[in-house]
Amino acid sequence: MHIGTAGIPIGCKNCSSVDALKFLKDMGLNALELEFVRGVKMGEETAKKIKNRADLLGVKISSHAPYYINLASDDPNKLERSLEHIKKSLYITNLAGGHITAIHMGYYQNLGKEETYKRMKNALKSLGEFIEQYNIKTKMGPETAGKLSQFGRLDELLRLMEEVEYVEPVFDIAHLHATREFDFTKKQSYYDFFNKTNLDHYHFHFSEINYGEKGERNHLNVGETMVPNYKYFLDVVKELGIDATIILETPDLEVSAKKLLDYWNTL
Ligand SMILES: [Zn+2]
């Protein structure tokens, strides 16, 4: 089990990503998602340092690609820029030893589900050559989206995984709850989820969530509302022997991560 934070822990003052690894380790945590959400600004040297230190400490690395991505865009320039963001993310994450890059794929707009799917699929497919050219081990991780206007229902991502090489979904539990694909206040829903997905390894995002008719509004700290229920989540992960990495995307980051870790250690 790997549990960690989306970005540098809040309590790690003036820390670099490299410093954050030791901070997490000292808390008993062992995963860090590098946040490239406002652009990939990390250089190659830093990425290599992260890999060395993370290997040494046993911290699992992943990343989150920039938010400025829409792989279903009508505008060829916008699509090209989106692909560039993903390439940069994959390249640097690979140097950092990261196993997956979470990607917000974009929007349905008025395209209809099937046309959107086709565009998303073609866009990810077009990155295969780049991945092979640079021998990139980092997987492309289209994320289950929290808003209904955003592409990324579970079925669509499982289909992408089947149909495109180097793709492995990133499962955001709170988003799957906010879109009502699952009711994760119920333990049974976690069994249903694992039955349906059936993978060797899972990369999760977790938080509690405030949501409405259109889906996600904002993320909440663990323990505030128990929606989704983290205890049921970990119970089922434990019971089924699931190999998981869980990244906390809560406002309080490492505080929530520690809550999951503490509960996990009681199981
Ligand atoms: Zn995300």
In this structure, how many other beta carbons lie within 10 angstroms of the beta carbon of residue 147?
18
Per-residue pLDDT of the chain (267 residues; tens, 9 = 90+): 999 999 999 999 999 999 999 999 999 999 999 999 999 999 999 999 999 999 999 999 999 999 999 999 999 999 999 999 999 999 999 999 999 999 999 999 999 999 999 999 999 999 999 999 999 999 999 999 999 999 999 999 999 999 999 999 999 999 999 999 999 999 999 999 999 999 999 999 999 999 999 999 999 999 999 999 999 999 999 999 999 999 999 999 999 999 999 999 999
Query: From ligand 1's centre to the CA of 103, what distance in Å?
Result: 7
Domain ranges of the chain: 2-266
Distance 178 CA to ligand 1 centre (A): 14
Q: pLDDT tens-digit profile of 92-136?
A: 999 999 999 999 999 999 999 999 999 999 999 999 999 999 999
Residue 44: C-alpha distances to residues 48, 57, 100 (Å): 6, 20, 17
Ion ligand 1: protein residues whose beta carbon lies under 5 Å: 143
CA 111 – ligand 1 centroid, Å? 22
CA of residue 104 to ligand 1 center, whole Å: 6
State in Å: Cα 143 to ligand 1 middle: 6
Which architecture characterizes domain 2-266 according to CATH?
Alpha-Beta Barrel (3.20)
The CA 158 to ligand 1 mean position distance, Å, reads 17
